[in-house]
Amino acid sequence: MTFSEPHEKLDNDSDPDVVRILQEMLEADETITARAVARKHPSIKHASSITRSTARLSLLASFQAQQKQYRAWQIRTPKRSRENLAAQLAQKDARISELEHQVEILRIHNLAMIRTVGEMGGMGKLLSLYNRYRDLREELDKLSVLPQTEIKHFPNKTSN
């Protein structure tokens, strides 16, 4: 066993201090570098302690990528107040909830109509209609709207 093996095992263990520091830096929009993390860490004193550990380096790269995405998003976002952006986001969330509710109502209504047609004996006609519109039927299958039971045909009763 060489000296580097136990050292690498220590580095690969989860380091909650590194995660905490990276999250704080991301929230404060401080530029995330190995050197900056080492300065803030209670026991790591050199940036190479972060860059030599594959786990810490991976964590660092992940947070740097997140920071890059956040900064790109901030550039694309017009200069508006946080309150204004929060209000717009709340409006969009409300609209999404409203549309999801409408889709659920339509899904339930469609399912009830299909069941009603099936009970009236017209399921074969309904399925033949959907055969002409295969792409529509595939979408309805994805939404789990069509019944999933097997259709059984009953023999015709003959009079004696």
Per-residue model confidence as pLDDT tens digits over 62-81 = 999 999 998 888 887 766 67
pLDDT value for 61: 95
Mean pLDDT of the residues in the chain: 79
The predicted-structure confidence for 13-51, as pLDDT tens digits, reads as follows: 468 999 999 999 999 999 999 999 999 999 998 999 999
- Structure pTM? 0.44
pLDDT tops 70 at residue 139: yes
- Between CA 9 and CA 3 the distance in angstroms is 11
Tokens in use for 10? 């220590």
Q: 31: which residues sit within 8 A by CB, 6+ positions away? A: 25, 67
Which stretch of DSSP H or E encloses residue 67? helix 54-76
Mean pLDDT of 120-131: 69
| Chain-centroid distance, C-alpha 31 | 27
Torsion over CA: 142, 143, 146, 148 (sign): positive
Which two three-digit tokens encode residue 18?
């590194």
